[in-house]
Homo-oligomer: A and B are copies of this chain.
Amino acid sequence: MKLKVKNFNWLAGRPVVVLNEQAAKKLNVFVNDRIKISKPKKVYAIVDIFSKLVSKNQIGLSHELSKILEVKNGAEVEVSSSEISEASYLIKKKIDGKTLTGEELNLIISEIVENNLTEAEIAFFTAAQKLNKMNLEETINLTKAMVKTGARLKFKGKYLADKHCIGGIAGNRTTPIVIAICAAAGLTLPKTSSRAITSAAGTADVIETIANVELSLKEIKKVVHKTGACLAWGGSLGLAPSDDKIIHVERMLNLDIEPQLLASIMSKKIAAGAKHIIIDIPCGKGSKIKTLDKAKKLGDKFKKIAKRFNLKLKVVYTDGTQPIGNGAGPVLEMIDILQVLQNKGPKDLRDKSLYLSIELIKLCGIKNAKEKAEEALASGKAYEKFKEIVNAQNGTNDFDERVKNLQPAKFKKTIKAKKSGTITEISNKGINSICRILGTPETISAGVYLHNHVGKITKKEPLVTLYAESKSKMKDALKFIKKFKPIKII
């Protein structure tokens, strides 16, 4: 039946429509049932009934649906009751321990994209992946399905490259440095990154301290065309859009689901058009992957998937036992990055970034990769390239001014070593937690500055400086440190 749209500025957190009781009866749907809107776009929605808000000829759209449908008030949409989702039978099949075919995964993923699965059904799907595992073939098919249901970027150029780190390490903001070095060395890098989930900051949060990261696909093309690279937020681009919905559900329990992790990363790289990819897997005590052995098992899966998609991919296994760089928090990390790009700043961050850059340039089949990367950094070309990218993303020329405005938060507190000895452990989780307590990533100027890494320390030497915009947050962070002792000295 046809109903007239009424757009409500109503944030429901899910694609909901409001129907009048009479319209619901006519459609033979009840609350929480799903309807299909087939025109102007095929999309599914959940039914709320709220007769005071809409007449029997109207359909009220939540903000989430208004955004998808983009129709004006009064415009007609074609609405019908939705058949029972076939995908839910397939999810049950996976729960029952069976293997899903490519076609079946396509159906599940496209129904996720079209909103025809509830969050509970997505939870069953991810739980089944976690507990019944997925074989390589399924993981590849899942990746394909995730690419297929989203937008894609296409670039010309021989050296289309990307990097990815599976995360978990505080600081460790190598991406902007690697992108700057590699772009200066002639690679094309349409890089998209995420915002923080549980960490102090995501790459997108850090870049956002000086550049606009919310680019459209068209803007990304323009920036990459102009500068050879970009540092955009991947969130709203629609590359592998099923991923956001799945991650939203996984995050409720903070689950790490391997096939989903593999498909999520690989589908986004494929959709962004990369052909040469470096995957950084930090491992060791205190990181996501505790042993090199486990890291290699995961790495092998990345390689196998890449092979099937005809991509050149190299996995590097790096030290994940302590934070990388000194700053943790958007502004503090950006300050580290700018320092490294100017041949100053934390050596560990510089070394790791250079190492990743060399590997990526090498992977593209370019000779003298080491010399090229080192030269790009030492000569200041990488810094110039970074400036160029930031200015292109902002559409301005005020890079230097923006850099000048980068200031850590106004309240600071330095904690010193109570005794001489050896720092044996700096907990990544601990540093991330302190940052969150101090207000990151929302408060971009908050965070932790590490004066020392694992190694010798003398009494009264500074360990960390905390930055916050509120005294109460500072107090909470100090309490946390006292309780959990994220830095161990013996």
Tell me if A92 is interfacial: C-beta within 8 Å of chain B. Answer: yes
Residues from chain B with a CB closer than 8 A to the CB of A122 are: 120
> Are B120 and A10 within 8 A (Cβ)?
no
Tell me if A124 is interfacial: C-beta within 8 Å of chain B. Answer: yes
> Are A253 and B11 within 8 A (Cβ)?
no
Tell me if A409 is interfacial: C-beta within 8 Å of chain B. Answer: no
* Count of chain A residues with a beta carbon within 8 Å of a chain B beta carbon: 40
CA distance A49 to B119 in the complex (A): 20
Tell me if A128 is interfacial: C-beta within 8 Å of chain B. Answer: yes
Tell me if A367 is interfacial: C-beta within 8 Å of chain B. Answer: no
Given the contacts A119-B119, A132-B131, A8 and B252 also touching, CB distance less than 8 Å? no
Residues from chain B with a CB closer than 8 A to the CB of A51 are: 9
Tell me if A50 is interfacial: C-beta within 8 Å of chain B. Answer: yes
0 or 1 for each of A86-108: is its CB under 8 Å from B? (1 = yes): 00110110010000000000000
Q: How far is the CB of A242 from chain B (nearest CB, A)?
A: 15
> Are B11 and A50 within 8 A (Cβ)?
yes
Contact among B13, B46, B91 for A32, CB-based, below 8 A = B13
Q: How far is the CB of A8 from chain B (nearest CB, A)?
A: 7
0 or 1 for each of A10-42: is its CB under 8 Å from B? (1 = yes): 111110001000000000000110000000000
0 or 1 for each of A46-90: is its CB under 8 Å from B? (1 = yes): 111111110000000000000000000000000000000000110
CB contact list, A372-394 vs B, under 8 A: none
Residues from chain B with a CB closer than 8 A to the CB of A128 are: 127, 131
- What are 20 residue pairs bridging A and B, where the CB atoms are less than 8 Å apart in the complex? A9-B52, A10-B48, A11-B48, A13-B46, A13-B48, A88-B253, A89-B253, A92-B254, A92-B255, A95-B130, A95-B253, A118-B119, A119-B120, A120-B120, A123-B124, A124-B127, A124-B253, A127-B127, A127-B128, A127-B131
Instruction: Give 15 new A-B contacts, CB below 8 A, not counting A10-B52, A121-B253.
Output: A8-B52, A9-B50, A11-B48, A11-B49, A13-B31, A13-B47, A95-B127, A95-B130, A95-B131, A95-B253, A119-B120, A124-B127, A127-B127, A127-B128, A131-B131
Residues of A near any B CB (own CB < 8 A):
8-14, 18, 31-32, 46-53, 88-89, 91-92, 95, 118-124, 127-128, 130-132, 249, 252-255
